[in-house]
Amino acid sequence: MALSGPLLAAPAQAGLMRPVLELMRPQLETRIIRACVDALAGDDPQLASQLQRPCRQLAAPASRCLVRETDASGKGLAVVGELMQRELGPEGERIVKRCIAQLVGLPANSLEGVSLRQLGQRFGGSRRERSAAEDRR
What pLDDT was estimated at residue 53?
94
| Full domain range(s) for residue 71 | 16-129
DSSP SS3 for 32: helix
Q: Tell me the per-residue pLDDT of 53-80, one tens digit each, with 9 for 90 and over.
A: 999 998 999 889 989 988 888 888 888 7
pLDDT exceeds cutoff 50 at 10: no
- Written in H, E and C, the secondary structure of 12-58 is CCCCCCHHHHHHHHHHHHHHHHHHHHHHHHCCCHHHHHHHHHHHHHH
DSSP SS3 for 42: coil
Q: Give the single-character DSSP code of 106.
A: -
**Number of structural domains the chain divides into:** 1
- CA 121, distance to chain mean position in Å, is 15
CA–CA distance, 5 with 137 (Å, rounded to integer): 64
Residue 23 included in any domain? yes
Residue 43 included in any domain? yes
The residue among 135, 137, 58 whose CA lies nearest residue 99 is 58
What pLDDT was estimated at residue 124?
59
